[in-house]
Structure 1
Amino acid sequence: MATLSQALAEIYASNPQDDYVLNTLEIRHPTFIDKAGNPAPIRVVADHEPLQAKLEADAPLNAGDSVQFEAVAFNFKLPSMEEGQAPQLDVTLDGVSREVVSHLENAVGQTEQIEVTYRRFRAADPAAGPQDVEPLTLYASSAKATLTQVTTSATLTDIHNKAFPSRIYTTTDFPGLNR
């Protein structure tokens, strides 16, 4: 699971009246493009107003830019960290537009996976960027859409090909390893 920044940990611990956590999702797929042919990810915030927030410097799309997250009612269940089980994020988006459903219909017949990135922002300072030390990115394993609702489950489907430990110790980074 993503680790928290100090500012986000303080919000959870002290529950200040003037600041709170804004949960966002970014859904990406190569077929999600606008009329000009540019990538058009689906970005939503669980709030009653759209959110203008800055992305992290290494974001897959619009790195370091301020982007718009549309206000959409959504429910999600964060993955549990149980031994022997891949983390799974269950998401339900309510009141989705025809455009969102169209994007998902276009992605169904493709071999590329739908990526889902979960980020948390501080309501008092969304320009400071995501408050997760590393935003959580999972891959949609199933999706179902109706006229007004999208339900999806996302998992770490490529967990078996991840290096462990994830940091590679080389003599360039750690000269003391050289004998």
Structure 2
Amino acid sequence: MALSTALEEAYAACDVEGDILDTLEFDHPTLATPLRFVQGTRVPGLYETVSLPVPVEGAVDFTVVAFNFTRPGLEEGGVGRAKLRVDNVSRYLQEALRAAISSDQPFSVVYRAYSTLDTGNPEVFDGLRMGNVSVSPVSATGDLFYEEIEMKAFPGLTYTLDDYPALYGQ
């Protein structure tokens, strides 16, 4: 059986040698700079940070921490939320989470998956929000979700009589 040209190209482009580096970027108005983490096991003196390119900023350091990222699943009521657990939170996230409690702004989270063969083109999931956060001395867990678009005003304008008199038959 012959393969189509498109299928041959898809098989040829498949990366089977490189590793995937899963990263998380937490941002909040109370933070001076975003907190960036790469999934792994920290080895003091040898493997504590990884430098990876980020749009606009260029190469930045991601701190190596253990975290578990569960992608959203399909549930009876629709798509479920993604789950996140970051270990060793007392060292990195606890102060930031405490400062965020007094704010009414949610954490913004960016998930990137870098291939070690081509770090310049990561798979990016941005616009994520973090909610239902619980913090213990050793870890933080939370739900990742996209802002509920159906709750936003569409088209984002308020049609008033002064601005749009034709809509009111005048």
TM-score, normalised by the number of residues in structure 2: 0.70
Q: Deviations over 1:37-74 (max 9, x none)?
A: xxx21111112332211113xxxxxx242111110001
Contact in 2 for aligned 1:55/1:129 (Cα 8 Å): no
Bigger-Rg structure (1/2):
2
The question of 1:47 aligning with 2:43 is answered no
- Secondary structure of the residue aligned to 2:30 is coil
Counterpart Cα distance in 2 of 1:24 and 1:163: 33
Where structure 2 has 5 or more consecutive residues not aligned to the other structure, the ranges are 1-9, 42-46, 156-170
1:1-179 equivalences in 2 (<5 Å): 10-11=14-15, 15-16=16-17, 19-33=18-32, 40-48=33-41, 49=47, 50-56=49-55, 63-80=56-73, 85-126=78-119, 128-130=120-122, 132=123, 134-160=124-150, 161=152
In structure 2, C-alpha distance between the alignment counterparts of 1:163 and 1:87, rounded to whole Å: 24
Q: TM-score, length-normalised on structure 1?
A: 0.66
**Runs (5+) with no aligned partner, structure 1:** 1-5, 34-39, 57-62, 165-179
Alpha-carbon deviation of 1:95? Answer: 1.5
Count of aligned pairs between the two proteins: 137
TM-fit CA distance, 1:125:
3.7
The structure showing larger relative contact order (alpha-carbon pairs under 8 Å, at least 6 residues apart) is: 1
- What amino acid sits opposite 1:77 in the alignment? T
Bigger share in strand: 2
Q: Which amino acid aligns with 2:96?
A: H
RMSD value over aligned CA atoms? 2.5
